[in-house]
Amino acid sequence: MKFSLIDEWKKFYTLYSFWFFVALGSLPDLFNLAVQYGVIQSNEAPAILARAINIVAFMGVASRLISQRVAEKQAQNQPSSTKI
C-alpha cells in the first residue's frame, strides 16, 4: 500500500485540525497537572482513557496528513456548478 502526504505537509502546523488533535492529545497530561497542583480534587486520569485519547489524537493527525486519493478523485469527477 502506497501512502502520500497532502500537498501542504510542510505547513502542517497551520492546519486547525492539527492543533485540535494536539490539544486533544494533551488533555490527560493537563488533567494530571491540575490534580497535582490541587486545582481538581480527584485521582489521576485513568491510564486506559489517557492511552485511548492519545491513540485517537495520533490517528487523527496521521489521517489528516495522508493524502486521500479517493476524495480527490470524487471531487474531480463532480461537475462544477455554474452561475446563471
56-79 confidence digits (pLDDT tens): 998 888 888 777 666 556 666 666
Please state, as a whole number, how many other Cβ atoms lie within 10 Å of the Cβ of residue 61: 20
CB 55 within 8 A of CB 46: no
Cell of 21: 488533535
CB burial of 5-21 (b: ≥16 within 10 Å; e: otherwise) equals eeeeeeeeeebeebeeb
Sorted by where each begins, the domain ranges of the chain are: 12-65
- pTM (2 decimals)? 0.58
Widest CA span in the chain: 63
Judged against a pLDDT cut of 80, whether residue 31 lies above it is answered with yes
What is the per-residue pLDDT for 14? 75
What is the per-residue pLDDT for 83? 52
